A = this chain, B = another copy of it.
Amino acid sequence: MSLVRVHNFSVSLDGFGAGEGQRLDAPFGHAGSRLMDWAVDTRTFREMGIPGTSEASFGVDDALASRWGAGIGAEIMGRNKFGPQRGPWEDGEWKGWWGDDPVFHTPVVVLTHHPRPALELEGGTTFHFVDADPASALRQARALAGDLDVRIGGGVSTVRQFLEADLIDHLHVVLVPIVLGRGERLWDGLEGLEERFDIEATPSPSGVLHLVFTRRAAP
Protein backbone atom coordinates (compact mmCIF):
# COMPACT_ATOMS: atom_id res chain seq x y z
CA MET A 1 0.00 0.00 0.00
CA SER A 2 1.28 3.46 -0.84
CA LEU A 3 2.16 5.76 2.06
CA VAL A 4 0.54 8.99 3.19
CA ARG A 5 3.19 11.62 3.89
CA VAL A 6 3.55 15.14 5.26
CA HIS A 7 6.73 17.12 4.54
CA ASN A 8 8.22 20.45 5.57
CA PHE A 9 5.42 21.31 7.95
CA SER A 10 6.63 24.06 10.30
CA VAL A 11 5.24 24.73 13.77
CA SER A 12 6.25 27.20 16.45
CA LEU A 13 7.32 26.20 19.96
CA ASP A 14 3.78 26.84 21.10
CA GLY A 15 2.40 24.59 18.38
CA PHE A 16 1.06 27.05 15.82
CA GLY A 17 1.35 26.06 12.15
CA ALA A 18 0.14 29.47 10.98
CA GLY A 19 -0.31 32.84 12.60
CA GLU A 20 -3.45 34.91 13.03
CA GLY A 21 -4.83 37.02 10.18
CA GLN A 22 -4.04 34.90 7.12
CA ARG A 23 -4.78 36.75 3.89
CA LEU A 24 -3.60 37.17 0.30
CA ASP A 25 -0.49 39.15 1.15
CA ALA A 26 0.18 37.21 4.36
CA PRO A 27 -0.47 33.48 3.86
CA PHE A 28 0.91 32.73 7.34
CA GLY A 29 -0.75 35.73 9.00
CA HIS A 30 1.24 37.61 11.64
CA ALA A 31 3.88 34.84 11.54
CA GLY A 32 5.11 36.45 8.32
CA SER A 33 7.95 34.43 6.81
CA ARG A 34 9.29 33.20 10.14
CA LEU A 35 7.90 29.67 9.91
CA MET A 36 9.46 29.12 6.47
CA ASP A 37 12.71 31.10 6.71
CA TRP A 38 14.62 27.85 7.28
CA ALA A 39 13.40 26.56 3.91
CA VAL A 40 13.97 29.43 1.51
CA ASP A 41 17.73 29.04 1.51
CA THR A 42 17.65 25.34 0.69
CA ARG A 43 18.46 24.17 -2.82
CA THR A 44 15.07 22.41 -2.87
CA PHE A 45 13.04 25.58 -2.37
CA ARG A 46 15.32 27.59 -4.66
CA GLU A 47 14.55 25.09 -7.42
CA MET A 48 10.83 25.71 -6.82
CA GLY A 49 11.50 29.30 -7.79
CA ILE A 50 11.25 30.70 -4.29
CA PRO A 51 13.75 33.53 -3.83
CA GLY A 52 16.18 33.16 -0.94
CA THR A 53 18.43 35.51 0.96
CA SER A 54 21.79 33.77 0.63
CA GLU A 55 23.60 30.93 -1.13
CA ALA A 56 21.43 27.82 -1.36
CA SER A 57 22.38 25.19 1.23
CA PHE A 58 22.95 21.47 0.80
CA GLY A 59 22.85 20.58 4.49
CA VAL A 60 20.37 18.78 6.68
CA ASP A 61 17.59 21.32 6.04
CA ASP A 62 17.90 20.70 2.32
CA ALA A 63 18.24 16.95 2.73
CA LEU A 64 14.96 16.76 4.59
CA ALA A 65 13.21 19.39 2.46
CA SER A 66 14.15 17.52 -0.72
CA ARG A 67 12.10 14.48 0.26
CA TRP A 68 8.79 16.20 -0.45
CA GLY A 69 8.45 15.22 -4.11
CA ALA A 70 10.02 11.82 -4.68
CA GLY A 71 7.53 9.01 -5.08
CA ILE A 72 4.49 11.26 -4.69
CA GLY A 73 1.60 10.64 -7.08
CA ALA A 74 -0.95 13.10 -5.70
CA GLU A 75 -1.38 15.80 -3.06
CA ILE A 76 -4.35 16.60 -0.86
CA MET A 77 -4.62 20.17 0.35
CA GLY A 78 -7.17 22.22 2.22
CA ARG A 79 -8.91 25.01 0.41
CA ASN A 80 -7.08 27.64 2.44
CA LYS A 81 -3.79 26.40 1.05
CA PHE A 82 -5.15 26.72 -2.48
CA GLY A 83 -6.08 30.35 -2.03
CA PRO A 84 -7.51 33.10 0.14
CA GLN A 85 -11.14 32.89 -1.11
CA ARG A 86 -13.80 31.60 1.31
CA GLY A 87 -17.38 30.49 0.59
CA PRO A 88 -18.71 30.07 -2.99
CA TRP A 89 -16.04 30.59 -5.66
CA GLU A 90 -16.20 34.14 -6.99
CA ASP A 91 -12.82 34.63 -8.64
CA GLY A 92 -12.80 31.97 -11.37
CA GLU A 93 -9.43 33.23 -12.61
CA TRP A 94 -7.59 32.23 -9.43
CA LYS A 95 -5.30 29.26 -10.15
CA GLY A 96 -3.64 28.93 -6.76
CA TRP A 97 -0.55 30.72 -5.45
CA TRP A 98 1.75 28.92 -7.87
CA GLY A 99 1.06 30.44 -11.29
CA ASP A 100 0.42 28.70 -14.61
CA ASP A 101 2.96 25.92 -14.04
CA PRO A 102 2.60 24.88 -10.37
CA VAL A 103 5.33 23.05 -8.52
CA PHE A 104 3.28 19.92 -7.93
CA HIS A 105 3.32 18.16 -11.36
CA THR A 106 0.70 15.68 -10.08
CA PRO A 107 -3.03 15.67 -9.46
CA VAL A 108 -3.97 17.76 -6.41
CA VAL A 109 -7.18 17.15 -4.46
CA VAL A 110 -8.46 20.42 -2.97
CA LEU A 111 -10.89 19.91 -0.09
CA THR A 112 -13.81 22.34 -0.33
CA HIS A 113 -17.50 22.47 0.49
CA HIS A 114 -17.95 24.11 -2.92
CA PRO A 115 -17.04 21.59 -5.65
CA ARG A 116 -16.28 22.91 -9.15
CA PRO A 117 -14.82 21.44 -12.35
CA ALA A 118 -11.20 20.31 -12.33
CA LEU A 119 -8.57 22.86 -13.28
CA GLU A 120 -5.80 21.51 -15.51
CA LEU A 121 -2.61 23.56 -15.66
CA GLU A 122 0.78 23.11 -17.27
CA GLY A 123 3.35 20.55 -16.18
CA GLY A 124 0.96 17.84 -15.07
CA THR A 125 -0.78 19.65 -12.21
CA THR A 126 -4.56 19.26 -12.16
CA PHE A 127 -6.61 20.57 -9.25
CA HIS A 128 -9.64 18.44 -8.35
CA PHE A 129 -12.14 20.15 -6.05
CA VAL A 130 -13.93 17.68 -3.82
CA ASP A 131 -16.23 17.83 -0.80
CA ALA A 132 -15.14 14.79 1.20
CA ASP A 133 -14.02 13.58 4.61
CA PRO A 134 -10.36 12.60 5.00
CA ALA A 135 -10.85 8.87 4.34
CA SER A 136 -12.80 9.33 1.13
CA ALA A 137 -10.56 12.17 -0.07
CA LEU A 138 -7.66 9.78 0.44
CA ARG A 139 -9.38 7.07 -1.61
CA GLN A 140 -9.80 9.56 -4.46
CA ALA A 141 -6.21 10.74 -4.19
CA ARG A 142 -4.92 7.15 -4.19
CA ALA A 143 -6.89 6.41 -7.33
CA LEU A 144 -5.22 9.44 -8.96
CA ALA A 145 -1.76 8.54 -7.61
CA GLY A 146 -1.56 5.03 -9.02
CA ASP A 147 1.01 3.08 -7.02
CA LEU A 148 2.69 6.22 -5.70
CA ASP A 149 2.41 7.91 -2.30
CA VAL A 150 -0.03 10.66 -1.35
CA ARG A 151 1.19 13.87 0.25
CA ILE A 152 -0.99 15.81 2.67
CA GLY A 153 0.07 19.34 1.81
CA GLY A 154 -1.64 21.35 4.55
CA GLY A 155 -2.76 23.74 5.84
CA VAL A 156 -2.85 23.21 9.55
CA SER A 157 -6.42 21.96 9.95
CA THR A 158 -6.06 19.55 7.03
CA VAL A 159 -2.96 17.93 8.53
CA ARG A 160 -4.64 17.82 11.94
CA GLN A 161 -7.75 16.13 10.52
CA PHE A 162 -5.71 13.45 8.77
CA LEU A 163 -3.74 12.83 11.97
CA GLU A 164 -6.97 12.59 13.96
CA ALA A 165 -8.25 10.02 11.46
CA ASP A 166 -4.94 8.10 11.82
CA LEU A 167 -4.32 8.23 8.08
CA ILE A 168 -0.74 9.51 8.10
CA ASP A 169 2.31 7.21 7.89
CA HIS A 170 5.14 9.73 7.74
CA LEU A 171 5.08 13.20 9.29
CA HIS A 172 7.97 15.66 8.98
CA VAL A 173 7.49 18.55 11.37
CA VAL A 174 9.95 21.42 11.54
CA LEU A 175 9.96 22.96 14.97
CA VAL A 176 10.87 26.64 14.70
CA PRO A 177 12.00 28.10 18.04
CA ILE A 178 9.64 31.06 18.11
CA VAL A 179 6.58 31.75 20.26
CA LEU A 180 3.76 32.90 17.97
CA GLY A 181 1.15 33.33 20.67
CA ARG A 182 -1.87 33.06 18.35
CA GLY A 183 -2.96 31.38 15.16
CA GLU A 184 -3.87 27.86 14.17
CA ARG A 185 -2.69 25.05 16.45
CA LEU A 186 -1.49 21.76 14.98
CA TRP A 187 -1.60 19.54 18.07
CA ASP A 188 -5.10 20.25 19.36
CA GLY A 189 -7.19 17.12 19.72
CA LEU A 190 -4.18 14.85 19.17
CA GLU A 191 -3.53 13.76 22.77
CA GLY A 192 -1.42 10.59 22.83
CA LEU A 193 -0.30 10.96 19.20
CA GLU A 194 3.19 9.77 20.16
CA GLU A 195 1.87 6.29 20.94
CA ARG A 196 1.27 5.72 17.24
CA PHE A 197 4.67 6.91 16.01
CA ASP A 198 8.40 6.50 16.40
CA ILE A 199 9.87 9.99 16.60
CA GLU A 200 13.37 11.06 15.58
CA ALA A 201 14.69 14.55 16.32
CA THR A 202 17.56 16.28 14.52
CA PRO A 203 18.66 19.88 15.07
CA SER A 204 19.90 21.96 12.17
CA PRO A 205 22.61 24.63 12.24
CA SER A 206 19.90 26.99 10.97
CA GLY A 207 18.30 26.78 14.41
CA VAL A 208 15.25 24.67 13.61
CA LEU A 209 14.59 21.11 14.76
CA HIS A 210 13.45 18.39 12.42
CA LEU A 211 11.01 15.90 13.92
CA VAL A 212 10.34 12.84 11.81
CA PHE A 213 7.33 10.76 12.87
CA THR A 214 7.15 7.25 11.42
CA ARG A 215 3.99 5.30 12.07
CA ARG A 216 4.58 2.14 14.09
CA ALA A 217 3.71 -1.17 12.55
CA ALA A 218 0.44 -2.57 13.88
CA PRO A 219 1.19 -4.92 16.82
**Chain A residues with a Cβ under 8 A of chain B:** 13-15, 175, 177-182, 185, 187-194, 199, 201-203, 207, 209, 211
Contact = CB atoms under 8 A, between A and B. Distances in A.
B194 A177 contact: yes
Q: Which of A178, A180, A191 has the most CB of B within 10 A?
A: A191
B177 A181 contact: no
Given A14-B187, A15-B13, A189-B181, A201 B194 contact: no
Nearest to A209: B201
A16 to B, nearest CB: 10
Contacts of A182: 191
Given A13-B187, A178-B192, 17 more contacts: A13-B15, A14-B15, A14-B187, A177-B211, A178-B193, A178-B194, A179-B191, A179-B192, A181-B187, A181-B188, A181-B192, A199-B207, A201-B207, A202-B203, A203-B203, A203-B209, A209-B209
Nearest to A34: B194
A179 B207 contact: no
A9 to B, nearest CB: 13
